[in-house]
Amino acid sequence: MGYAVEMFLRDEESPAIRQLFSTTRSVLADIGTTPHVSLAVFEDVDVPKLIQIVRGFAARIASFRLRFSSVGTFPGRENVVFLAPVVTGVLLRVHTSLHEQLAVQGLSCHPHYLPGLWVPHCAVTVDEPIGSSLNTIKAIHDANVLGEYTIDNVNVVEFRPVVTLASFGLRNRDAEPSVPGDA
């Protein structure tokens, strides 16, 4: 069992990405996930403490836009094909803000999600045979899903299958983005 803090794309903006889960026969369709960008992943964690941290984090973070501009892969055992967002100052500050709060509370996640190592992504397929990756990339291009999306919610989830443990709307969902450290 694993746990994650995930930022969700506004539901009404992401049906084409959800459709890709089915089109590509992604395991993501089977485990109950929705399009998201993970901020932190844990093998084991103090769940009540994590939920408390994320509640406070969500109350301080305003919704914001991100742009998926390319397709990437994490080759290897899990073989992930993903949408890659443009890495902006806002995205990095949001990520860093969460990790600062986790550190203060003594929580540490998988090293790949730590500031300076994190590669933000929205997985389309995971655990896919490498030979299928080109078909997935073609399906992504055919679906025309690259573009802007709104991040307006952050969840704490348990996974495989995905179970939402807590869900928090980001503040000022229609306002300009702001995060701690913005001028």
As given in the structure block, the two tokens for residue 113 are 């999600």
The pLDDT value recorded for residue 100 is 97
Per-residue pLDDT of the chain (183 residues; tens, 9 = 90+): 899 999 999 999 999 999 999 999 999 988 989 999 999 999 999 999 999 999 999 999 999 999 999 999 998 888 999 999 999 999 999 999 999 999 999 999 999 999 999 999 999 999 999 889 999 999 999 999 999 999 999 999 999 899 999 999 998 755 444 444 443
d(CA 144, CA 76): 26
Q: What is the DSSP string of 57-106?
A: HHHH-B-EEEEEEEEEEE-SSS-EEEEEE---HHHHHHHHHHHHHHHHTT
Taking CA atoms, 2 is separated from 67, 144, 153, 182, in Å, by: 27, 31, 20, 32
Distances (CA, A) of 7 to 4, 65, 66, 135, 139: 10, 12, 11, 27, 24
Burial (Cβ within 10 Å: 0-12, 13-18, ≥19) of residue 88: middle
Could you tell me which of 95, 69, 121 has the C-alpha nearest to residue 180?
95
Domains identified in the chain and CATH numbers: 2-168 (3.90.1140.10)
Cβ atoms within 10 Å, residue 13: 15
Helix, strand or coil, per DSSP, at residue 150: strand
